[in-house]
Each structure stands twice: as structure tokens, then as C-alpha cells.
């Protein structure tokens, strides 16, 4: 089995005190790296200022080598804050009004990808399998190919890929597509994303799909597929069971005074539909006065990318909106919305998921949304809650027991909240069970194995042919 080399913008390095990172993606990739041995490379998250980035920081942990590089202030501003998060992110999330394209930032994006490739080169072995992650690093395969790398290279896009009419608003869309053609396998979250990619190739006349999963573009043959990412379902379910006795969870339960809890957990981002969600909850209370004082909505929203002006402005907007609803509808002994603008420890979060009668996951656009899957995995099988899910989240393609809503339809979402709060136990159980059954089979390890199996399929076939 060949070594695995993972490249991502940030690298979840194990902490000596805290141990290995707890998130599903980190767990799956770490397990794959431990099995095969290999390297995980990316940005350290630190800036070297105006000075040279300095040498790679190498951390050995078992048979995994973590390779981290600093970036200069200019690199961070142009590559990360600039092109990645002010061009690619908003366009891929259909927010053309927020895209701020500049040639300097675009140049920095490609420059930093070349810098990463240059730093990775001495670490590679001829039979390594390389797996590149997400929108920050789309040009990585081309940069490596130009430096003579002929290894199998796969790419997985964790965010949505929009249809051609949206994608083509990016001035360098053809260059981005050309970069993707240098991979052996390009993975997307859903079949819709894959179809959008094929549609972009055909609309622009720069490629086509001669057979399902097979692509031709810029004189390269490669493969594309949908690989919906999962969570560590069984482990998280056990985690949530144990978390139910967490002191802070018990305290939160007591504070509800038997009121049903609605929970939303989202990074502070304009793609998450937070303002629309609060509007829908307010409409639910206005339209159903008998539920006022008898339900509590907890919104957990850690800060995100506060260096980007749009995010700082949104933080103020969401806080003001929650305050307005509380001021208008709250009473001396009841607050409609509990708003937390910081991270919550994972044991507490798992316990709160389990406590909540309704999981409110209503992004305007999302590649997958693992909160939806964590909420379902955390539920008590004897008394499960109801998932309300945006039809524009990738998870909607799998979670067939959820109440699907259009987050732009305030009244429709308000009606779904009412239905979820009042849903009979037997229906809640049936809906939960069909979602949980799927999550147990299609967990994050299955996602990882499926992608790597397809990436190495042709390589393994070639080895088998040589052996005979």
C-alpha cells in the first residue's frame, strides 16, 4: 500500500495535552494516514510578517509526519483573505454581490499554491498517493505536474460548486477549471455539484463527459464523482449519550423548565441563513401565540474570519436581530432566543444536541453541513428530535427523514418549526431511524475509503497487470 500525502489549508496537529483533534474529517484522515503512513502538509496558521516564511516545521506522530509552513503577511492577505475567501467562497455560495475580485489577490492565490508545491516536492516518494482538500488549493495538482510529479493526485471540494452561469462570473473561471483537469479524480459533495462541473465544461466548450464519472478537458482524461462526507456516527452517538450527564448540560436542561429546545449551531457566515432563520422563528411565535413562553431557541454561533469586513458586519447584524426579537417578545421569566457568539466545547454541544427537540439547520447554501448529521446521531432513540433542514444543503440529498424547507420562505420555515414541535413520538422515531440507518453505513470512514479506493483503482489495476 502506497503512502498517503494529504494537503489542506490548515492542519489539525495533535496537541500533547488535548490529544488528537475530535472533528470527523480529522479523525478519518488521521486514521487513513496511520494505516498507510504518510505526510499531512498545510499552513501553520501563523504569519512570518514581512520576512521569508522560514523552514517547514516537521512534527512526527507515529508514522504520520505533519509538515507546516508559515506564510508572509502578503501571502495571507492575498491568498487566504483575498482570493480564497473574498472570491471563491462567495461565488461558490452563490453570493455574487459579495465577491471582490482583484488581480493582485488572484496572483497571490496561484503564487502560494506554487509555494506549497515547492515545499512539498522534497517530501514526496514516487508511489505516494496525494489527496488535496478544498477551494484554497485548487491549483495544487497543476503546480505539482509542472514540477514533474506523476503520482496519483485526487482533489475533494468541501464547498458547493455552482452552475455555469454563477461560476462564469469569476473572471478566471477557465483557469480554475483547467487546474481541476490536472487531477486524476475530482470529488464533490453531491451529484448536483458534479453535474454543475460537467455542465460548465460543456457550456464553455472545454470538455465533456464521455461516460458517467469520466471526464475529458484540456487534453486530459480524469474522473469525477460524488462522495458525500459523513461523520464518525457511532462514536458521536456514544459521545452524546455520555454527554447527557455533563454538568453544564444538566444545568441547561434545568434552565429550560421543561420547555422544548430548538437548537442552531453554525459558524458565523453569510451562507448559513442566520438572519432568515431568526425571522422565521419570530414568525412562528407571532403566528402561534400559545407557544410563546413555552419554547426556547438556542443559537450557537462562533465568530469566523473577523478580519473580513463582511463577517464583522454580520456579527453585529445577527446580535442586533436576536436582541430585537427578545425585546419585542420576551417576558420577565422567558427569553425567546439564547444567543451565544463563541465556541462551545464538544461534550457540551453533543449533550445540547441530544436535549433539543428540534435541530434547525437552514443554510442558504452549503456543501454538506455536518451539523445536520451530528444532530441526528446525537438523538435519544426512545425520544428523538426532529431535523429541519434547508433543501440547499448537500445533506438534503441524503437526510430523507428531515423536514426540508426553503430558508428564503419565512412562513414555510415557521410552519415547519410548528410541525416539528408538535410532531408525535412515533413519527419522530420513524423519521430519525431512516436517517440514522444511513448515517451508520455512510460514515466518514466509508467516505474516506470510497474516495481513496477510486483514486487508486487504476493504479492498482496497473500493478496487477504487471504482476501477471
Supply the residues annotated as catalytic.
158, 366
- Bridge partners (DSSP) listed for residue 129: 4, 152
SS3 409: coil
The candidate with the shortest Cα–Cα distance to 39, out of 146, 122, 136, is: 122
d(CA 270, CA 96): 12
SS3 234: helix
Question: CA 160: distance to chain centroid?
Answer: 9
d(CA 368, CA 8): 18
Q: Is the Cβ–Cβ distance between 388 and 403 less than 8 Å?
A: yes
Q: Is the Cβ–Cβ distance between 173 and 167 less than 8 Å?
A: yes
Q: Is the Cβ–Cβ distance between 124 and 5 less than 8 Å?
A: yes
User: How would you class 98 by CB atoms within 10 Å of its CB: exposed for 0-12, middle for 13-18, buried for 19 or more?
Assistant: middle
d(CA 263, CA 388): 10
Instruction: Please state, in angstroms and as integers, the Cα–Cα distance from residue 132 to each residue in 6, 70, 90, 139, following that order.
Output: 6, 18, 21, 10
- For the CA atoms of 345, 347, 349, 351, what is the dihedral angle to 10 degrees? -150
Q: Is the Cβ–Cβ distance between 228 and 399 less than 8 Å?
A: no
d(CA 465, CA 468): 5
Length reported for the chain: 468
At 303, give phi and psi (nearest 5°). -65, 155
Give the pairing of strands 57-61 and 129-133: unpaired
- Rg, C-alpha atoms of the chain: 23
SS3 content of the chain, % helix, strand, coil (to 5): 50, 20, 30
- Bridge partners (DSSP) listed for residue 156: 133, 187
At 290, give phi and psi (nearest 5°). -70, -15
d(CA 282, CA 294): 14
Locus of grid cell 503512502: 3
Amino acid at each position: 500500500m502506497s503512502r498517503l500525502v494529504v494537503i489542506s489549508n490548515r492542519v489539525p496537529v495533535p496537541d500533547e495535552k488535548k490529544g488528537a483533534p475530535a472533528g470527523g474529517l480529522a479523525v478519518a484522515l488521521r486514521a487513513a494516514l496511520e494505516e498507510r503512513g504518510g505526510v499531512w502538509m498545510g499552513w501553520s496558521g501563523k504569519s512570518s510578517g514581512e520576512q521569508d516564511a522560514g523552514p517547514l516545521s516537521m512534527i512526527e506522530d507515529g508514522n504520520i509526519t505533519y509538515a507546516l509552513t508559515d506564510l508572509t503577511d502578503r501571502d495571507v492577505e492575498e491568498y487566504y483573505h483575498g482570493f480564497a475567501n473574498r472570491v471563491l467562497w462567495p461565488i461558490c455560495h452563490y453570493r455574487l454581490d459579495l465577491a471582490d475580485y482583484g488581480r493582485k489577490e488572484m496572483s497571490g492565490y496561484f503564487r502560494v499554491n506554487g509555494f506549497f508545491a515547492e515545499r512539498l516536492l522534497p517530501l514526496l516518494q514516487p508511489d505516494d498517493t496525494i489527496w488535496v482538500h478544498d477551494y484554497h488549493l485548487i491549483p495544487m495538482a497543476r503546480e505539482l505536474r509542472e514540477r514533474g510529479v506523476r503520482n496519483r493526485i485526487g482533489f475533494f471540494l468541501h464547498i458547493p460548486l455552482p452552475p455555469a452561469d454563477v461560476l462564469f462570473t469569476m473572471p478566471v473561471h477557465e483557469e480554475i477549471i483547467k487546474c481541476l483537469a490536472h487531477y486524476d479524480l475530482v470529488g464533490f459533495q453531491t451529484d448536483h455539484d458534479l453535474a454543475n462541473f460537467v455542465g460548465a465544461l460543456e457550456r464553455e466548450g472545454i470538455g465533456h463527459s464521455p461516460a458517467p464519472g469520466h471526464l475529458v478537458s484540456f487534453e486530459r482524461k480524469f474522473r469525477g464523482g460524488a462522495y458525500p462526507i459523513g461523520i464518525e456516527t457511532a462514536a458521536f452517538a456514544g459521545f452524546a449519550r455520555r454527554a447527557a450527564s455533563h454538568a453544564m448540560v444538566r444545568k441547561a436542561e434545568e434552565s429550560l423548565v421543561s420547555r422544548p429546545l430548538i437548537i442552531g449551531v453554525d459558524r458565523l457566515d453569510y451562507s448559513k441563513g442566520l438572519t432568515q432563520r431568526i425571522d422565521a422563528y419570530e414568525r412562528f411565535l407571532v403566528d402561534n401565540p400559545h407557544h410563546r413562553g413555552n419554547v426556547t431557541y438556542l443559537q450557537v454561533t462562533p465568530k469566523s474570519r473577523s478580519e473580513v469586513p463582511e463577517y464583522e458586519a454580520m456579527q453585529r447584524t445577527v446580535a442586533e436581530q436576536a436582541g430585537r426579537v427578545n425585546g419585542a417578545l420576551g417576558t420577565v421569566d422567558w427569553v425567546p432566543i439564547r444567543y451565544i457568539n463563541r465556541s462551545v466545547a464538544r461534550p457540551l454541544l453533543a449533550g445540547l444536541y441530544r436535549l433539543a427537540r428540534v435541530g434547525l439547520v437552514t443554510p442558504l447554501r452549503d456543501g454538506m453541513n455536518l451539523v445536520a448529521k451530528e444532530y441526528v446521531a446525537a438523538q435519544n432513540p426512545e425520544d428523538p428530535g426532529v431535523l429541519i433542514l434547508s433543501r440547499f444543503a448537500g445533506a438534503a440529498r441524503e437526510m430523507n427523514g428531515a423536514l426540508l424547507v426553503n430558508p428564503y420562505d419565512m412562513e414555510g420555515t415557521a410552519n415547519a418549526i410548528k410541525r416539528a414541535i408538535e410532531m408525535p413520538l412515533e413519527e419522530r422515531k420513524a423519521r430519525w431511524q431512516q436517517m440514522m440507518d444511513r448515517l451508520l453505513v455512510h460514515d466518514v470512514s466509508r467516505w474516506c475509503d470510497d474516495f481513496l479506493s477510486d483514486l487508486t483503482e487504476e493504479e492498482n489495476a496497473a500493478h496487477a497487470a504487471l504482476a501477471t
